[in-house]
């Protein structure tokens, strides 16, 4: 137990509330609610209402922001950007929850005013809240993995030194690619893409648009609900933690002269062609057959 519970405010901007719902699946949610105090949350019972946040001056240790922001978007006639500004300066730490809050996400692709993430417009830095960057942590994902958010908040509680990447994301969870831990890696190595969605056999990178080899995240290291991930279930990774999510044609690999346009992180075109040439010399019957 800790002497003082950290006070958390969870604001939702332009959002589908998917991250809030994902967080409700955190397996130790009851313990989490005992360890922290939700001053405000849109779905979880909390001490104050949204109207209270607008009218009162409430203490806040951690501000969580879900959803993209725009100067024109309002909650109860109050510009969301004003609420963010009010409590972001009070908070010791700010966490952008999800790809929309971090990079703008799908809402930044609409015609609705100027819509962006808190610090990034896709991969480009913005200047809306530049002075707050030093205390911001980004957790991208559509939606976020609840364990990643909870573990990050616990790390703040314990005053741990969190190493962040260029997008302010904790390296503990985003230093890896989704490819790391994928059960289809052997198929990937030998370029076996004999795949039908939902089947256990085959890699989805070469033909079916899987973005796991160049997308940062822990989906195959921290399984969803402790059970599964997209690639394990037989669907391609859609790159939902990336600044440019969502891309078009998610189930098709875009190629230039037969070479995937987006190669695995750290692999150059010449290296890829060399490895592909070597791979062609192999024919492994076991990988061409159904497992069952």
* Domain termination site, one of 142, 174, 206: 174
pLDDT of residue 158: 95
Q: Residue 289 pLDDT more than 60?
A: yes
Same domain, yes or no: 191 and 102? no
Same domain, yes or no: 162 and 22? yes
Same domain, yes or no: 251 and 209? yes
pLDDT digits (tens, 9 = 90+) for 21-60: 999 999 999 999 999 999 999 999 998 999 999 999 999 9
Which of residues 99 and 280 earns the better pLDDT score?
99
- Coil, strand or helix at 245: coil
Helix ranges restricted to H, 28-129? 29-35, 50-55, 80-88, 99-103
Same domain, yes or no: 190 and 165? no
Q: Residue 2 pLDDT more than 60?
A: no
* Domain termination site, one of 174, 208, 237: 174
Q: Residue 286 pLDDT more than 60?
A: yes
Same domain, yes or no: 65 and 80? yes
Same domain, yes or no: 134 and 16? yes
Does a structural domain hold residue 45?
yes
For range 192-207, the mean pLDDT:
89
Does a structural domain hold residue 2?
no
pLDDT of residue 3: 59
Same domain, yes or no: 36 and 137? yes
Does a structural domain hold residue 205?
yes
Percent of the chain scoring above 70 in pLDDT? 99
pLDDT digits (tens, 9 = 90+) for 200-227: 999 999 999 999 999 999 999 999 988 9
Same domain, yes or no: 141 and 18? yes
Does a structural domain hold residue 144?
yes
CB count within 10 Å of CB 143 equals 22
Does a structural domain hold residue 66?
yes
Q: Report the candidate in 171, 181, 287 with the shortest Cα–Cα distance to residue 231.
A: 181
Confidence of residue 127 (pLDDT cuts 50, 70, 90): low
pLDDT digits (tens, 9 = 90+) for 150-165: 999 999 999 999 999 9
Same domain, yes or no: 41 and 102? yes
Q: What's the pTM value of the predicted model, to 2 decimals?
A: 0.93
Contacts 24+ apart (CB under 8 A), 189-198: 189/279, 190/279, 190/282, 190/284, 190/287, 191/276, 191/279, 191/280, 192/284, 192/287, 192/288, 194/288, 195/234, 196/234, 197/234, 197/235, 198/233, 198/234, 198/235
* Domain termination site, one of 145, 174, 203: 174
Does a structural domain hold residue 108?
yes
Query: Whole-number mean pLDDT of the chain?
Result: 92
> In total, how many domains does the chain have?
2
Percent of the chain scoring above 90 in pLDDT? 75
CATH of the domain at 267: 4.10.480.10
252, 203 Cβ separation under 8 angstroms: no
Q: Residue 124 pLDDT more than 70?
A: yes
Residue 46: give the domain boundaries.
7-174
Same domain, yes or no: 245 and 210? yes
pLDDT digits (tens, 9 = 90+) for 91-119: 999 999 999 999 999 999 888 788 999 99
Same domain, yes or no: 88 and 32? yes
CB count within 10 Å of CB 140 equals 30
Q: Residue 194 pLDDT more than 90?
A: no
Does a structural domain hold residue 88?
yes
Confidence of residue 274 (pLDDT cuts 50, 70, 90): confident
CATH of the domain at 27: 3.40.50.700
For range 260-283, the mean pLDDT:
86
Pairing relationship of beta strands 259-260 and 124-125 according to DSSP bridges:
unpaired
> No. of H helices and E strands in the chain?
11, 11
Q: Residue 171 pLDDT more than 90?
A: yes
Does a structural domain hold residue 1?
no
Same domain, yes or no: 64 and 143? yes
């Amino acid at each position: 137990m800790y002497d003082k519970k950290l006070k958390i405010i969870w604001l939702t901007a332009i959002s589908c509330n998917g991250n809030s719902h994902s967080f409700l699946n955190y397996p130790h949610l009851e313990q989490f609610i005992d360890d922290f105090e939700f001053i405000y949350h849109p779905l979880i019972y909390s001490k104050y209402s949204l109207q209270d946040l607008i009218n009162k001056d409430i203490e806040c240790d951690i501000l969580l922001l879900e959803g993209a922001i725009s100067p024109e978007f309002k909650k109860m006639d109050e510009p969301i950007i004003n609420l963010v500004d009010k409590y972001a300066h009070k908070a010791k730490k700010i966490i952008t929850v999800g790809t929309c809050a971090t990079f703008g996400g799908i809402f930044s692709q609409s015609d609705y005013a100027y819509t962006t993430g808190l610090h990034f417009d896709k991969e480009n830095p913005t200047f809306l809240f530049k002075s707050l960057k030093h205390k911001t942590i980004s957790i991208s994902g559509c939606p976020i993995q609840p364990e990643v958010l909870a573990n990050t908040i616990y790390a703040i509680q314990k005053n741990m030194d969190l190493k962040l990447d260029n997008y302010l994301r904790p390296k503990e969870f985003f230093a890896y690619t989704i490819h790391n831990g994928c059960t289809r890696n052997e198929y990937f190595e030998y370029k076996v893409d004999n795949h039908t969605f939902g089947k256990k056999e085959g890699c989805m990178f070469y033909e079916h648009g899987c973005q796991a080899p160049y997308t940062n995240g822990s989906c195959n290291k921290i399984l969803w609900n402790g059970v599964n991930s997209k690639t394990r279930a037989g669907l391609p990774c859609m790159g939902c933690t990336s600044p440019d999510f969502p891309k078009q044609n998610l189930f098709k690999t875009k190629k230039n002269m037969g070479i995937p346009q987006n190669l695995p992180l750290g692999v150059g075109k010449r290296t890829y062609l060399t490895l592909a040439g070597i791979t062609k010399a192999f024919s492994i019957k076991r990988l061409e057959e159904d497992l069952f």
